[in-house]
Amino acid sequence: MPANKTLTGGCHCGLVRFECTTDLAMVTACNCSICTKRGLHFAFVAPERFQLRAGEDNLTEYLFNKHAIRHQSCNDCGVEVFARGSKPDGTAVVALNVACIDGIELAKLKMTPVDGRNR
């Protein structure tokens, strides 16, 4: 089992910064429209394991379809850093765009295919 680590990261220009504790055991490779077009790979974490350190006022929220997932992007550089949503049982969850983690190498991550297009 991968260990939990506290990771830092942010958007491209650096105005939005976060700290997150995750083991990155499950990273999505999802075929839904937004993950495909934005190139998103998410890791899901409990909200208490995700802290915005900077840039909370510099985020734009994007909603579509059922408005179930609230995508958060930097106003300046446009990078989506995370999204807020809830699990089927109603528990709040943060979907972290793992590409925003400092020093991450996407090619070294194990990705889990998700068939979001057909949900």
In the complex, least distance from residue 39 CB atom to Zn ion, rounded to whole angstroms: 16
- The CA distance from 12 to 114, in Å, is 26
Considering only 8-16, 39-47, 60-68, 99-107, which stretch makes contact with Zn ion by CB under 5 A?
Answer: 8-16
| 15 sits near Zn ion (criterion: CB under 5 A) | yes
Across-strand partners of 17? 10, 54
First to last CA, the chain: 29
Nearest to 82 by CA among 66, 101, 102: 101
Considering only 14-22, 36-44, 84-92, 96-104, which stretch makes contact with Zn ion by CB under 5 A?
Answer: 14-22
Residue of closest CB approach to Zn ion = 74
By CB under 5 A, name the one of 7, 11, 40, 99 that touches Zn ion. 11
Nearest to 43 by CA among 98, 83, 90, 91: 98
* Nearer Cβ to Zn ion (27/80): 80
* Nearer Cβ to Zn ion (86/95): 95
